Chains A and B, each alone.
Chain A
Amino acid sequence: MAARVVPATGLAGEGASVAKAFRNGLKGITGHLEPAERELLRGLLDDVISMLEPAEQANEDPLAALIGLDLNVTEPGDRALKRLLPNVMKDDGDASLEFRQLTERSLRETKIGALRAAALDLDRDELVLTEAGAGHWSMALNDVRLVLAERLDIQDEEDANHVHQMQDWSQAEDVESYLALVYNFTTWLQESLMQAMLETLERP
């Protein structure tokens, strides 16, 4: 698991180390993102949405589609997609596939719903999140990070620490370093959101 992220930086990098993207206040959870940050996020959200959108199927049984059943579903070949839609049993591929037929379609729809909701929020001038909206944002950012992490081949804590070293946008020289910076940006964003969301939880 990834620990709390320090130092915190937005795209702006230097001078922004104490900046918070999200904070919990009187109006609820509010966020501040620069236009370039919004643009970047929009692209990432769209990418993950297109990964999750199921291919149009010819001759699909409309009743099966209606109840969310998908008998043609297979275990994803793409590692990132498999991380988003994992097997439900560790050592039983058949049972996992059977479960997938019953649940994967609605799981994809749940994820796409959260990603679309976050993308819509980005079109507003002011980012003020409802409780449900904050939930969508946290799920969407998490799925974006899971996909980026697979592209960066983050397999263990050591890999994660290595990627975390990349904090300076002037270091972005190739696709991998750029992806690492984008990953760190989304991590910082999600951590900031989680701290705000944890504050809103009712304490006994």
Chain B
Amino acid sequence: MTLSVALGPDTQESTRTGTETTTDVLNAPDVPWNLVIWNDPVNLMSYVSYVFQSYFGYSESKANKHMLEVHKKGRSIIAHGSREQVERHAVAMHGFGLWATVEKSDGGKGGSGDGTGRGRGKRG
């Protein structure tokens, strides 16, 4: 994946304020991206758990914990990493048919403010 310019030369740098740039630099080394899996009414619990175990190498209990979090809370942060890493995971998840997005980590709070309920997860 060559999309990310998280730490590289940024052609839009001139349009940023100094504060934002500083924040980016401070956050960047702290693996600031999340891979989020969203709930949907189609994917089987067994399938989601299998994908979490086989792809991420998670234990059965860890995979099921994330799977149930997706099911009950509407979403779960399943992995962290650099932008390249989580984007690579996202493509793999899309290959499996799971509904995955990447997002910048919200200062370590997990960015969960968006996942207030499964109703928010409707496609549109």
Interface of A toward B, CB cutoff 8 Å: 1-5, 79, 82-90, 98-99, 102-103, 106-107, 110-111, 135, 138-139, 142-143, 145-146, 149, 154-157, 159-160, 187, 190-191, 194-195, 197-198, 201, 203-204
Contacts and interface: CB of A to CB of B under 8 A. Distances in A.
B101 A201 contact: no
A111 B96 CA distance: 8
22 contacts: A1-B39, A1-B71, A2-B45, A3-B45, A4-B46, A88-B90, A88-B100, A88-B102, A90-B103, A90-B114, A99-B87, A103-B1, A111-B95, A139-B95, A142-B97, A143-B97, A145-B42, A149-B42, A154-B42, A156-B41, A157-B118, A194-B44
Contacts of A85: 94
Place the interface of chain B in its size category: 35 or more
A89 B86 CA distance: 11
B122 interface: yes
A10 to B, nearest CB: 17
A102 B3 contact: yes
Contacts of A2: 41-45
Residue among A2, A4, A146, A160 with max Cβ neighbours from chain B (10 Å)? A2
Contacts of A102: 1-3
Contacts of A160: 41-42
Contact of A191 (B36, B46, B53, B123): B46
B119 interface: yes
A157 B41 contact: yes
Contact of B101 (A79, A90, A139, A195): A90
Contact of A159 (B2, B39, B41): B41
A3 B45 CA distance: 6
A149 B97 CA distance: 13
Residue among B49, B59, B102 with max Cβ neighbours from chain A (10 Å)? B102
